[in-house]
């Protein structure tokens, strides 16, 4: 009888356009509970059972609406105080389809989005050098003329990551590394994502990862 009750619940959720999402495995920390929400142009999680869940869900919805589309997401980090999500999608608003990758990081005590300065403290000079080197390497692999492109010098990177409101930049935490996401021109695959291990960043900056 119990299995039929469970099956009935799943069918009811599906009829409402929702499904209970299985939590990812293979990590050594828990994930929050959520329901998978789908509506035209958007796929996103709706969380429950956590503090400030209404505020968290409002922050998620505001974020994806600013992106304009989402087709997938991944929870990279979760603790009692911090949640980090990577969203992906494809925008068809311009002349060409454009890949979207963006990170959202939420303070679970308030439900509000946080910036890089809330996670990585101190001077970003060496961090910018590390990122610039990785960007140059990726653009060389793509066959781009890195001398003509932005973000290939530490000063270029510093101007972006040092500004919490910079357009075309976001980040998310993926277990033991931080992903820095930069929008680039369409010919260069739309986005470049630079992963730096947390222990490498901690050599130069103080990290706040509750």
Last residue of a domain, one of 114, 145, 180: 114
* Res. 149 pLDDT band, cuts 50 70 90: low
Torsion, CA 38, CA 39, CA 40, CA 44, rounded to 10: -50
135 and 194 part of one domain: yes
Q: What's the structural domain count of the chain?
A: 2
98 and 177 part of one domain: no
98 and 151 part of one domain: no
Q: Which residues contact 124 (CB under 8 A, 6 or more apart)?
A: 158, 161, 162, 205
133 and 68 part of one domain: no
pLDDT digits (tens, 9 = 90+) for 105-128: 999 999 999 999 999 999 999 999
pLDDT at 12 (0 to 100): 36
pLDDT at 146 (0 to 100): 55
The residue ranking higher by pLDDT, 144 or 47, is: 47
* Res. 5 pLDDT band, cuts 50 70 90: very low
The residue ranking higher by pLDDT, 18 or 151, is: 151
- pTM of the full structure: 0.80
55 and 136 part of one domain: no
Calpha distance 156→163 (Å, rounded): 12
The boundaries of the domain holding residue 197 are 118-207
The residue ranking higher by pLDDT, 98 or 81, is: 81
The answer to whether residues 74 and 85 touch, using CB atoms and an 8 Å cutoff, is yes
77 and 149 part of one domain: no
Side-chain-facing half-sphere of 64: CA atoms under 13 Å: 26
Share of the chain above pLDDT 70, in %: 76
């Amino acid at each position: 009888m119990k299995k039929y009750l469970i099956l009935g619940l799943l069918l009811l959720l599906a009829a409402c356009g929702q499904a209970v999402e299985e939590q990812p495995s293979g990590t050594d920390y828990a994930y929050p509970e959520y329901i998978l929400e789908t509506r035209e142009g958007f796929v996103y999680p709706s969380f429950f059972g956590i503090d400030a869940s209404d505020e968290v869900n409002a922050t998620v919805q505001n974020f994806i609406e600013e992106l304009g589309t989402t087709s997938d997401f991944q929870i990279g980090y979760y603790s009692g105080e911090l949640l980090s999500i990577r969203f992906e999608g494809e925008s068809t608003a311009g002349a060409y389809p454009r890949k979207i990758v963006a990170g959202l990081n939420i303070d679970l005590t308030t439900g509000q989005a946080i910036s890089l300065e809330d996670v990585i403290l101190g001077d970003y000079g060496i961090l910018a050098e590390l990122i610039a080197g990785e960007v140059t390497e990726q653009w060389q692999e793509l066959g781009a003329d890195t001398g003509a492109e932005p973000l290939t010098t530490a000063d270029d990177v510093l101007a972006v990551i040092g500004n919490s409101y910079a357009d075309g930049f976001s980040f998310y935490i993926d277990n033991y590394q931080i992903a820095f996401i930069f929008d680039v021109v369409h010919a260069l695959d739309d986005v470049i994502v630079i992963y730096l291990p947390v222990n490498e960043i901690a050599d130069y900056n103080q990290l706040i990862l509750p």
